[in-house]
Amino acid sequence: MYTSLCTADRAAAVRLSSQIVAALHREWQKLLFALSQDGSSVYEGLITGPKQEPSLTEAMHLYVQATGKEGNQSFIASTERSVAAVVSLSGDKAISAYNRSDALKFRNALVSRGSSLATVKRNLSNMRAIWTTSPENTASRP
């Protein structure tokens, strides 16, 4: 791939090229994490394209598997309660479709029903953990 940086200034060229490299790296990571884990080749994954992003409930199941706590019923129940509350307020959308207003709505609902500060923090922590372990969000980090 060739592209002109349209500058003779070395510092500007380094800055521009590092931005291009970072963007390409993020794109590659996104493709890499989106490949199937069923043993298909990288080539097949690139031809067929990335898999669809998981919904919040699917991401929750992936999170429980990733933590290795499939047998811990209290952990699963706590995580399911948090997800169920978010889904009841905002719907079961793709993980990247949630935004700050959804988080604020969730927090306000917890506070309005009289939850303690520790409960609010625990629920937000559950959601943050699901979000940060989601393949889509892992791939978008630099």
Q: What is the pLDDT of residue 37?
A: 53
Question: pLDDT band for position 41 (50/70/90)?
Answer: low
pLDDT band at 132 (very low <50, low <70, confident <90, very high): confident
State the burial class of residue 62 (Cβ atoms within 10 Å of its Cβ: 0-12, 13-18, 19+): middle
* Residue 122: pLDDT over 90: yes
Which tops the pLDDT comparison, 139 or 65?
65
Per-residue confidence (pLDDT) for residue 141, from 0 to 100: 41
Banded pLDDT at 60 (limits 50, 70, 90) = very high
Would you say 72 and 112 are in contact if contact means Cβ atoms under 8 Å apart? no
Q: Is the pLDDT of residue 17 over 90?
A: no
**Residue 81: what pLDDT?**
93
For the chain, give the mean pLDDT.
Answer: 80
What pLDDT score was predicted for residue 142?
Answer: 41
Rounded-to-integer distance, Cα 5 and Cα 15, Å: 10
Task: Give the domain ranges of the chain.
Answer: 10-51, 56-139
Asked whether the predicted pLDDT for residue 45 surpasses 80, the reply is no
6 or 108, higher pLDDT? 108
